[in-house]
Amino acid sequence: MWGRAQLLVLMTLLHAQGDEAQEDNELRVGRSIDIFTRYGYLSLSVKVVPKNESTWLFREPTIDIFEGLNQYAVPSKRQSKKRLVFDGNFHMEFCDNSNQLLQAYFRDFQFQGLDKPWKAFTGSWTPETIARNLGINSSFITSDSYCFVLVRLSRYREGVKLTRVPNNINLADVVAREIDNMQVGDVGSVVTFIKKYGSHFINSFVTGNSIYQVFVYNKNYYQQIKDRLKTRGISHVNKRDLLQYFGPVYAEHLGTIKVASGNKTVERWVEEHLRMHYYIFSFQSLLKVHGDLALLSILNNLLLNEAVVELEMKTLAPAFKDPEKRAWFEEVLGNFIKLWEVNL
Ligand SMILES: *[C@@H]1O[C@H](CO)[C@@H](O)[C@H](O)[C@H]1NC(C)=O
Ligand SMILES: *[C@@H]1O[C@H](CO)[C@@H](O)[C@H](O)[C@H]1NC(C)=O
Ligand SMILES: *[C@@H]1O[C@H](CO)[C@@H](O)[C@H](O)[C@H]1NC(C)=O
């Protein structure tokens, strides 16, 4: 009996600690990661697309290299007192090909120095992975005769950004020592530094949740709709036309509406409430929420803090006080990034 009780207590403790570490998320401004160990695979540790297994939001190990940065951390994303029907953003992006589609999906994820920051997440994705994550059939990804429109509704829950990293910011002792020992001209010392303390730090992030849908078109219709929405703007096109453009008559394929966090409750709600009927057709459309205050206000409550919706990383250059060492760090890092981007 005793043994069992103790084990239970121990398990509860472990569990509580596990939860706390997750709650803490290690997603904090100023903390750093080594982009190279994760390049192509970041979606395994940053919740940006639905994942079956769990409720973690961010499980990437991050390192505290700066000291006393907290005073420069401020809430971001209009945490205004005004009550909004929907605290977030409705966004539509036209994509001429599947590459642009991935780029659009990761529009709000930036890594300083990377030309193609979305590859940090998608470099390892096969066409099947892309298709599954974006809710469309992979045949549209592998062929180049299709264009896409990504529509996304993002709910913001928590946002933090650094106003600045002052020049005289303190470093953790071990980090300062490592930099002291670094030699300008020695590539190895930069590599060692990056392996130990990272290449980039989190400058800002926003968490929350989003729902999104990809519409697939042939080039003709795509161009027509793009031109129309470009000249008039989405709010000047009447809803009937809008629903036509984003319905089965114009679109080659209507993707499934996905929930970024993979939350099943939200998925079920979407399946039930964002369905449209048009003559013989019945289909899901995220356009249904456009301008619909009742739906938006429900979604405002339904979308919780379960995924990362924006992330901005900057290089660790500010850790280097000595201008020569800083320049050397930036040069080596820049070359590595180029190599990585070419090879993956
Ligand atoms: C989720 O799990 C189901 C059943 O185990 C599996 O068929 C499906 O491919 C998984 N989806 C993802 C996104 O991993
Ligand atoms: C999906 O693509 C496969 C071939 O890649 C095709 O056989 C199948 O019919 C497609 N499904 C839909 C719903 O378009
Ligand atoms: C999924 O979302 C619903 C609605 O916001 C929420 O009540 C529920 O706790 C969430 N489920 C999980 C597993 O987080």
The helix or strand, by DSSP H or E, that contains position 105, with its residue range, turns out to be: helix 98-105
Q: Is the shortest distance between the CB of 54 and ligand 3 below 6 Å? A: no
Q: What pLDDT score does 231 carry?
A: 82
Determine the pLDDT at residue 79.
58
pLDDT digits (tens, 9 = 90+) for 69-98: 989 999 987 656 667 889 999 999 999 999
pLDDT score recorded for residue 21: 24
Select from 323, 316, 318 the least CA-distant residue to 184: 323
Query: Residue with the nearest Cα to atom 8 of ligand 3?
Result: 265
Whole-prediction pTM value? 0.88
- The ranges assigned to domains in the chain are 27-343
**How far apart are the CA of 81 and the centre of ligand 3, in A?**
25
Q: Is 162 in the pocket of ligand 3 (CB under 6 A)?
A: no
Query: Half-sphere exposure of residue 48, counting CA atoms within 13 Å on the CB side?
Result: 24
* DSSP per-residue letters across 166-183: -TT-EE-HHHHHHHHT--
Determine what percent of the chain is predicted with pLDDT higher than 70. 91
The two three-digit tokens of residue 176, written as one number: 């300062």
Q: Which residues of the chain have pLDDT under 50?
A: 1-24
Q: Is 75 helix (H, G, I), strand (E, B) or coil?
A: strand
Indicate which residue's Cα is closest to atom 14 of ligand 2: 137
Question: Is there a contact between 191 and 228 (Cβ–Cβ < 8 Å)?
Answer: no
b/e per residue 173-190 (b: at least 16 CB within 10 A) = eebeebbeebeeeeeebb
- Of ligand 1's listed atoms, the one at least distance from the Cα of 50 is 13
Whether 52 lines ligand 1, by a CB cut-off of 6 Å, is yes
Q: Is 307 close to ligand 3, i.e. is its CB under 6 Å away?
A: no
Neighbours of 320 (CB within 10 A): 19
- Of the candidates 244, 171, 168, the one whose C-alpha atom is nearest the C-alpha of residue 201 is 171
With a 6 Å cutoff on the Cβ, whether 137 touches ligand 2 is: yes
For 159-209, write each residue's pLDDT tens digit. 999 999 998 899 999 999 999 999 999 999 999 999 999 999 999 999 999
